[in-house]
Amino acid sequence: MTTIARDAKLVTFINVFTTAPADQPEVLAILDHVTSTIVRHAPGFVSSSLHRSIDGTKVVMYAQWRSMEDYEAMRANPAPLPFLQQAMKLATFAPGTYEVTETYAP
Structural domains of the chain, count: 1
Specify if 90 maps to a domain.
yes
State which residues form the domain around 87: 11-98
**Identity at 15, one-letter amino acid code:** N
Residue 29 within any structural domain of the chain? yes
Q: Does residue 37 lie within any of the structural domains?
A: yes
pLDDT for the residue 32: 97
Residue 79 lies in a domain: yes
CA angle 52, 1, 98 (to 5 degrees): 65
CA 33 to each of CA 27, 30, 57, 58: distance values in angstroms, whole numbers, following the listed order: 10, 5, 20, 18
pLDDT score recorded for residue 3:
79
| CATH code for position 82 | 3.30.70.100
Q: What is the pLDDT along the chain (106 residues), one digit of tens a residue?
A: 777 888 888 999 999 999 999 999 999 999 999 999 999 999 999 999 999 999 999 999 999 999 999 999 999 999 999 999 999 999 999 999 999 899 998 9
* Domain membership flag for residue 5: no
| pLDDT confidence of residue 96 | 95
Look at residue 1 and tell me if it is in a domain: no
Calpha distance 83→29 (Å, rounded) = 10
Give a yes or no: residue 6 inside a domain.
no
